[in-house]
Amino acid sequence: MAVESEGAVENNGVVRTAMGFGSIMNNSYGIGRMGIWRMDEMGGQATPLHRMDARIKILTVFIFIGFVMSFPRYEISALMPFFLFPLVLMGRAGIPPSYIFKKVLIASPFALAVGIFNPWLDPAPMIRVGGIFVSGGWLSFLSILIRFSLTVSVALTLLACTGIQRLCDGMGRMGVPQVLVVQLQLLYRYLFVVVEEGGRLGRGLALRAGPRSRITLRTYGALVGHLLLRSLDRAQRVYQAMASRGYTGETRMMHPPVLRRVDLLFLVGWVLFFGVARYWNLAGQMGRLLIGGGR
């Protein structure tokens, strides 16, 4: 809890006591807060990849997603080479893959919910792996999970290797309506507000709830209502602070990006790679090359 104790916590001793109760809310507050700030910190770095024109990165990511989605529903092996893209981005931007992986896990229930019934809906056997028949449903389920991991990890990496300010600035310059860009910016800002207010409420609760008391639905309802009202109040103050510093909906950058030839090479290079990986099953070829089978 390094960040927790360094942050704006009014009274560290109190926090520790509260943590001692093992309150779920309090712990998740710590993790959520660290995670959310960490994303902000990563986005604020100044590696060459961070400083690259955001438009190029956004465009490449969209093309990437298009390619990943274009595969037939049972495809698995041919998708594998696409993991190279997020991994290279993370490597170049100094983002630990484990960090992105955890975030992907958090979002994974959505993908699971989408694909979980496929094995029942499509039980016809498709391939044999070591004497066991695998149905088409299982294959398409796996394929959905892989595509989900690819696209979500790339989207998160894009945020972590660009930062919300540069991302929004890039979107604005790509012609995304200002209204949407501002929405996104404020939504992002609001996340921090809710997480921090939630943390404060959680602490208050942890201090008064005994070690084994359970949160009843009634308390929970009051808590969530409170969270909404408090976040609204706080959001209002944050907005006022922004407005009193001349915020009118448009943000300018301290270091506006310049489009360089390297950036275009980045785009062209990756799109070529996606194209090659789309039309030749690179993983399959590699397998054939290594074990000499495959027929």
Partner 1 sequence: MSHHLIEARDVWFAYPQGADVLRGLSFRITHGEAVGLIGCNGAGKSTLLMHLNGFLTPRCGEIRIGDTPLTAQTVAAARRAVGVVFQDPDDQLFMPTVAEDVAFGPLNLGLPLDEVAQRVGAALERVGMTSVRERPPYKLSAGEKRAVAIATVLAMMPDILVMDEPTSSLDSRGRRRLIELLRGFEHTRIIATHDLELVVEICSRVLIMDEGRIVADGPARTILGDRELLHAHGLERPHSLSHAHAHTAE
Q: Least distance from C-beta 215 to partner 1, angstroms?
A: 27
Q: Least distance from C-beta 281 to partner 1, angstroms?
A: 41
Output 66 or 249, the one with its CB closest to partner 1: 249
Cβ 66 vs Cβ 277: under 8 Å: no
φ, ψ (nearest 5 deg) of residue 127 = -135, 165
Looking at residue 217, its amino acid is L
Count CB atoms within 10 A of the CB of residue 87: 14
Q: Least distance from C-beta 226 to partner 1, angstroms?
A: 18
Rg (CA), the chain: 23
Count CB atoms within 10 A of the CB of residue 137: 20
Q: Least distance from C-beta 93 to partner 1, angstroms?
A: 14
Q: Least distance from C-beta 38 to partner 1, angstroms?
A: 10
Output 43 or 198, the one with its CB closest to partner 1: 43
Output 35 or 287, the one with its CB closest to partner 1: 35
Looking at residue 162, its amino acid is T
Output 107 or 234, the one with its CB closest to partner 1: 234
φ, ψ (nearest 5 deg) of residue 125 = -65, 140
Output 149 or 157, the one with its CB closest to partner 1: 157
Q: Least distance from C-beta 12 to partner 1, angstroms?
A: 12
Q: Least distance from C-beta 44 to partner 1, angstroms?
A: 3
Output 243 or 272, the one with its CB closest to partner 1: 243
Output 34 or 209, the one with its CB closest to partner 1: 34
Output 200 or 260, the one with its CB closest to partner 1: 200
Structural tokens at position 192? 């921090």
- Give, in order, the Cα–Cα distances in Å from 271 to each of 61, 69, 261: 10, 15, 15
Residue 11 DSSP class? -
Where along the sequence are the contacts to partner 1 (CB under 8 A)? 3, 6-8, 10, 37, 40-41, 43-44, 163, 165, 189, 192, 196, 234, 237-238, 240-248, 250-254, 256
Q: Least distance from C-beta 90 to partner 1, angstroms?
A: 19
Q: 3-state DSSP call for residue 94?
A: coil
Find, among 156, 198, 178, the residue nearest to 29 by Cα. Answer: 198
- Helical H segments across the chain, by residue range: 2-6, 12-20, 24-43, 48-51, 54-69, 84-93, 97-115, 118-121, 136-160, 164-173, 178-208, 217-243, 261-279, 282-291
Residue 175 DSSP class? T
